[in-house]
């Protein structure tokens, strides 16, 4: 069904009900179909199918795959396949610089433009770095530089995801004060950030 070119609806795909092994065998047909869908200007079915990759086991992504690299090479297909961005983290710290480059490129987009799935690429790249934790510590100075140069918006820098990622990479949680728009005790806020970093910024 996935490979059938007539099928353009993928909400029905019950990946969560499959066994571990069955989920792993889905990766190849999904990637093959995504490559074909990426040639179309209609990225809605592409986005829906790519979102199913969140439920594929990490082990399926550990080896380099030219199809994934091809889909991540273009901003439009990358932004519509956030699960593939985060999956780079499963290859190990060698992909840390590429994930950071996605944060940089995604942060340069104009938030006032009407862009589908705006910011999802940046969030996914940050979650990938957070997942790597201390093994990706080498990108920490570059993230500090981005913040200092204003390459990342103030709103992004005050987000829980940005700060938890910095903590996962080795930053001290004590340096983060409560953002101006938050009403909470600083101690509880920092504890929440630490928990998020310890959980590798996994989505709930």
pLDDT digits (tens, 9 = 90+) for 98-152: 999 999 998 886 555 545 566 899 999 999 999 999 999 999 999 999 999 998 9
Q: How many CB atoms lie within 10 A of CB 204?
A: 3
Q: How far apart are CA 167 and CA 195, in angstroms?
A: 10
Residue partners of 140: CB distance under 8 A and separation at least 6: 166, 169, 170, 171
Burial class (CB within 10 angstroms; exposed 0-12, middle 13-18, buried 19+) of 71: buried
Above 70 in pLDDT, residue 37?
Answer: yes
Domain ranges across the chain: 15-198
Burial class (CB within 10 angstroms; exposed 0-12, middle 13-18, buried 19+) of 55: middle
CATH fold for the domain made of 15-198:
1.25.10
The closest of 50, 66, 151, 62 to 100, measured between CA atoms, is 151
CA atoms within 13 A on the CB side of 105: 16
**pTM beyond 0.75:** yes
Above 90 in pLDDT, residue 36?
Answer: yes
Query: What pLDDT is stored for residue 204 in this prediction?
Result: 61
């Amino acid at each position: 069904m996935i490979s059938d070119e007539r099928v353009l609806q993928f909400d029905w795909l019950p990946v969560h009900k499959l066994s571990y092994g069955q989920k792993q065998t889905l990766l190849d047909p999904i990637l093959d179909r995504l490559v074909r869908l990426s040639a179309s200007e209609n990225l809605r079915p592409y986005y829906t199918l790519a979102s199913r990759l969140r439920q594929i086991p990490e082990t399926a992504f550990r080896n380099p795959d030219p199809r994934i690299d091809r889909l991540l090479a273009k901003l439009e297909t990358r932004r519509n396949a956030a699960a593939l961005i985060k999956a780079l983290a499963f290859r190990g710290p060698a992909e840390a610089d590429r994930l950071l480059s996605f944060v940089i490129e995604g942060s340069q987009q104009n938030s006032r433009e009407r862009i589908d799935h705006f910011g999802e690429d940046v969030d996914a790249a940050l979650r990938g770095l957070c997942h790597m934790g201390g093994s990706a510590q080498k990108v920490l100075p570059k993230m500090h530089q981005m913040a200092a140069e204003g390459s990342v918006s103030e709103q992004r820098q005050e987000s829980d995801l940005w700060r938890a990622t910095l903590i996962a990479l080795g930053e001290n949680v004590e340096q983060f004060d409560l953002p101006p728009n938050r009403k909470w005790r600083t101690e509880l806020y920092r504890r929440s950030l630490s928990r998020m970093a310890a959980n590798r910024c996994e989505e709930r």
